[in-house]
Structure formats: structure tokens, C-alpha cells
Amino acid sequence: MQRRRDERIMSMEKKMTIKEIAKLSGVSPTAVSFVLNGKNGVSELTRQKVLSVIEMTNFVPNAASKRLTMKKSFNVALIYPVSASPFTDMFYCEIAAGLTEYLTENKYNVVFVPIKAPSLTEVPDIIKIQDADGAIFLQGVDKLLLDKLDEMDFPYIFIDIHENDTKKIHVSLDSEKLVYEAARYFISHGHEKLAFLGSDWLPGYYIRCFNGYQKALGESGLGIMPGWIQTGANDEEGVYRCMERILSSPDMPTAVCCMSDMQAIQGIRYCQEKGFHVPEDLSFIGIDDIVLSRYTTPPLTTLTYDKPGMGKLAGELLLKKIDGEERNSHIITEFGVAERKSVMDLRNGRSTS
């Protein structure tokens, strides 16, 4: 008899609702809700009754409904310009991986929102329609938009912010130190003529990187020759033009500091196409450790740190912020060196390994 009833319940194809469960359990929807959410206020007896019905029917509360009543979307928007697309840029891809994993584990969806316009000043649709509880910006965004979001009290944080506006919460790298350490690495391997290959379309980023370069050289009393500093490495073509100038500099450098692994990799390519040998003729070091760097020839020596961890950390900060707890920004200042084959050790005439 009992058995038959169970079967009837189990075979019900009708979509279950909390009311149905309540009816089947002989209790009120409230009681079911309480059981579902582990709140107390229900007797052990009812809890068991409800639990068994839930078990049998495989009931799970409807997401849309939950969203509506709780006024929470359980979505987080990941907003990025084309220059920082996780699908194009391997650096941001790794970060997005860590972020997505963390948020998924915490029952949030990550919604990828590319910015197509050159500059986003309008509140993105997903926020307007209240379909995100918070946002993560990659590489910063227009202040105008931030003002609007602030006015709405909408929680957001940044990853890899390239400005010195420390008022906003962000997870970033200490780019100055990154390039500084890259340069130090060269210097500790006997290099004294260091060129700088970078881009300046993100001015804040450029300045920080350049400062790191200059600081390292200054500390060691090394000079810079005309033509060694190139800032047009915005794309492959730009890198090529920059490298052309560096290579034709009257006093050829022995090493090149870069603002990203991609710049280093493209720089190496250019050298090789022109018949130069890396690292024998010229050494390179990157500062990202993107996966590509392992597979180039020579594999790229580069600085390394936990990129998925940055994504995860950003997720944590944002979730805390959504819950009303403020956390501080986090700037990564500790890096490892992935020693591969793109740096010549001038002290003994071999490539490092």
C-alpha cells in the first residue's frame, strides 16, 4: 500500500513545485521551504516527512522563482574589452578559468560580457535588467560608468587594473616590480645592455613597467642608448617595427625587457626571421608565463605566478562585497621565475636552463 503510493509519486511527470511537495507531505509550503533551507522552526517529524517526499520526487526548487523572490540573480558579470578577452588573450583566459571555477562552486553563474564599443559609458544591459549581483571588470573601464554604478550601489571589482586609482577594489599585479625583477634577472646573468619593448596604449601600465625597468638599470648604474626604448608594441606589426629599431640601434643591446609574454614571443620571432639567434644574439624575458611560452623555440623564460588564483581571489572579494563585507585590494608582489631557454647567461656563455 505504502509502496504503491511511493510509486505513484515517483512516476509523476508533472513538474514539482513547493506547493505540491507541501501537499504530498501534508504540511505547509513554509515548512517545506524551511526544510529546504535548513532553517529551524520545524519539528524533526515534519522534517523527515518532507525530506522523504523530496527524496522520492527529486524535487529541486525552481531557479527563476528563487531569483525573483530573493531579488538575487546568482549571476556575476565578467566585463571585458576586446583587448582583454579571455577567449583571445591567454593571460585572461587563465584568470577567467580560476574565476569561473570558484564562482561555479559557489553557485554563481559567470556571464561573459564583451565590450564592443571603444569605451563603455552606459550601464551594461545585464546590470540594467538586474540580472547580475555584481561585476568584475578586466583592465578597468570608463569612470563615467563607475559613477553610475556607484550611484546604484552596484558591487564591482577589478582584475588587472592599470591605473593608480587605489580607491577601487582590485586584484592586480605589481607590474613595476614584475619588470624590475625581469630586468634584475638579466643583470644577475651578466647583461648590461637592456632594451625595453612595450606598448603605451594603456598609459598607466606602461609607466609602471617602464619605472621598473629604469629602476633596475639605475640601481646597477647601467646606461640606456638611443633606440633601446620602444613603445609601439601594440600588435605583431608594432612589435616588428620596434624590434627593427632595437636591432638597428648603434649599440646593440644583449637583452630585451618586455611588458608581456606575447611581446617577447613576437619579438623573438622577428629576430629569428631576420636571422638572429635567440638567446645567443639577444635574450628575452616575459612576465606572464602564458602557456604559449612553454612551446616556443626557444621556450620563453618568464616570470610566473598563480593566474587562476587571481581569478579565484577576485571571485572571493566580489562575493564578499555582494554580501556587504568590504575587503581590501590585493596586489600580487611575489613571483617565481620560469627559467627556460630565452636568456643567455653572459657569465658563462650558456643559455640558462
Partner DNA sequence: TTGTACGCGTTATCAC
Partner DNA sequence: GTGATAACGCGTACAA
**Residue numbers at the binding site for a second copy (CB under 8 A):** 15, 58, 60-68, 71, 73, 75, 85-88, 93-94, 96-97, 100-101, 104, 109-114, 125, 128-131, 265, 269, 272, 291-292, 295-298
Smallest distance from DNA to CB 132, Å: 15
3-state secondary structure at position 274: coil
- 153/299 Cα distance (integer angstroms): 47
Q: Taking CB under 7 A as the rule, does residue 62 contact DNA?
A: yes
Q: Please list the alpha-helical segments (H only) found in 15-72.
A: 18-25, 29-36, 44-57, 63-70
Q: Taking CB under 7 A as the rule, does residue 42 contact DNA?
A: yes
Identify the bridge partners of residue 79 per DSSP, sorted by sequence position.
113, 137
Q: Taking CB under 7 A as the rule, does residue 69 contact DNA?
A: yes
Q: Give which of DNA, a second copy, none residue 100 binds (C-beta under 5 to 8 Å, depending on kind).
A: a second copy
Residue of 50, 4, 5 lying closest to 23 (CA atoms): 50
3-state secondary structure at position 142: coil
Smallest distance from a second copy to CB 129, Å: 4
Nearer CB in complex with a second copy: 48/297: 297
Hey, what's the cell of 23? 501537499
Smallest distance from a second copy to CB 1, Å: 28
Q: Are the C-beta atoms of 310 and 95 separated by less than 8 Å? A: yes
Segment (H or E) for 177: helix 175-188
Task: Return phi, psi of residue 197, to 5°.
Answer: -115, 115
Smallest distance from a second copy to CB 23, Å: 20
Nearer CB in complex with DNA: 15/116: 15
Task: Summarize as ranges the residues that interact with DNA (CB under 7 A).
Answer: 15, 17-19, 26-31, 33-34, 36-37, 40-43, 45-46, 61-62, 64-66, 68-71
